[in-house]
Amino acid sequence: MDIGVPTETKDSESRVALAPAGAAVLVAAGHRVRVQRGAGIGSGFADAEYSAAGAMLCDAADAWGSALVVKVKEPLPTEYRFLRGQMLFTYLHLAGVDLALTQALLASGTVGIGYETVRDDAGHLPLLAPMSAIAGNMAVAVGAWYLAKPHGGIGVQLGRVLGEPHGRVLVVGDGVVGQHAAASAAALGAEVIVYGIDAAHGAALLKQLPEHVNWRLSTPQAITAELPQADLLIGAVLLPGARAPHLISTDMVRQMRPGTVIVDVSIDQGGCVETARPTSHSDPVYTVDGVLHYCVTNMPGAYPRTATVALTQATLPYLKTLAGGGRAALFADPALGAGVNTLDGYVTCPAAAQGLGLLARHRPLAELAP
């Protein structure tokens, strides 16, 4: 199969969907890999490394003209012209982005396979996990940065000073993002409270984290009670394929002190904070009621080398199956089937269809089987 790897065009997005080592594996399996010139430079991979791996260098049109296009982020409006019914394997986050993308995928008949909804046999999200881990770690780092007075923050340092803890971090959500955020904040020495909805899961999580991390059942009342003392709030809520619910209301944000910080990692799916709106690496923060909001939609793009290597390791087994089986693999492999968001002009992911108001265009994948 022809596999195309275009250069990412999102603001400050330096990741690439496939490292040279991954390209070599696919070429060895008999596939033709076409990489847009310069696609890997931001991640530290030169064109020569792709050539050495057996990939062909090309322009954007040739990369997009492949039967299977592999990306990191969703296509931007300037790329819609390249959508011609091919298979597209990338992070789509349809429920959290502009409706125009879904309409473009449907109009072109593109087979949109979202990394974020691929599920393994245990029900986990193996292709979302590596970026969630990076984003969780990063949420604490950027939160600590913006808490500094010169950056507009309240001036609280997260960590221990001569043995005394400083900084209070609330993490709303205890999935992969929440776990990594809690671990990072705890490692600094801050006081951490993690909110979740499953007490058994919370108990298991606490066994993996330092003793000064607390887990609490996520309710508006429980979160509101801690907001006046919080220095950093991290939104880490995920409903796979669906728009994130607003668990932190505008009124709740007003309970926070001026100069405190919110990092809404859920912004890819619309954000779990009512006052959150998408931002970029080039313009990452804004203030609402004195509270700094960091809502960058491609956070792991700040660490492209780490992210590209981790993403390639996670996606490569699925990519090999997809390239080897074509569209038939979507119906034969339940994990890839769960990843299908659009097919033949229909939205196949029910959560995305619901979030986008497109239930009239929803068809279960099984009904579209050849």
Residues 266 and 140 in one domain: yes
Whether the CA torsion 118, 119, 125, 130 is positive or negative: it is negative
Number of domains composing the chain: 2
Residues 281 and 291 in one domain: yes
pLDDT of residue 210: 86
For residue 319, pLDDT over 90 is answered with yes
Looking at 301, 335, 359, the residue that finishes a domain is: 301
Which residue pairs, CB below 8 angstroms and at least 24 apart, start in 320-327?
320/25, 320/26, 320/29, 322/68, 322/87, 322/89, 322/113, 323/1, 323/3, 323/26, 323/29, 323/31, 323/68, 324/1, 324/29, 326/1, 326/67, 326/87, 327/87, 327/111, 327/370
For residue 323, pLDDT over 90 is answered with yes
**pLDDT above 70: percentage of residues in the chain:** 100
The residue segments making up the domain with residue 245 are 130-301
Q: Length of the chain in residues, anyone?
A: 370
For residue 71, pLDDT over 90 is answered with yes
Residues 323 and 355 in one domain: yes
Closest CA to 368 of 118, 67, 111: 111
> Active site residue: 31, 93, 180, 293, which one?
93
What is the average pLDDT across 68-79? 97
Residues 261 and 288 in one domain: yes
For residue 110, pLDDT over 90 is answered with yes
Residues 157 and 281 in one domain: yes
Contact 95, 242 (CB under 8 A): yes
Reported as a single tens digit per residue, the pLDDT across 139-169 is 999 999 999 999 999 999 999 999 888 999 9
Catalytic site includes residue 93 = yes
pLDDT of residue 96: 86
Reported as a single tens digit per residue, the pLDDT across 21-57 is 999 999 999 999 999 999 999 999 999 999 999 999 9
Catalytic site includes residue 251 = no
**pLDDT above 90: percentage of residues in the chain:** 97
What is the Cα 27 distance to its own chain's centre? Answer: 28
pLDDT of residue 79: 98
Residues 219 and 290 in one domain: yes
Confidence tier at 370 by pLDDT (50, 70, 90):
confident
CATH number of the domain at 288, please: 3.40.50.720
Which of 15-19, 147-151, 161-165, 352-356 bottoms out in mean pLDDT, i.e. has the lowest? 161-165
> Active site residue: 180, 246, 268, 293, which one?
268
Strands laid side by side in the 2-5 sheet: 56-58, 32-36, 2-5, 68-70, 87-90, 111-114, 340-343, 346-347
Residues 80 and 152 in one domain: no
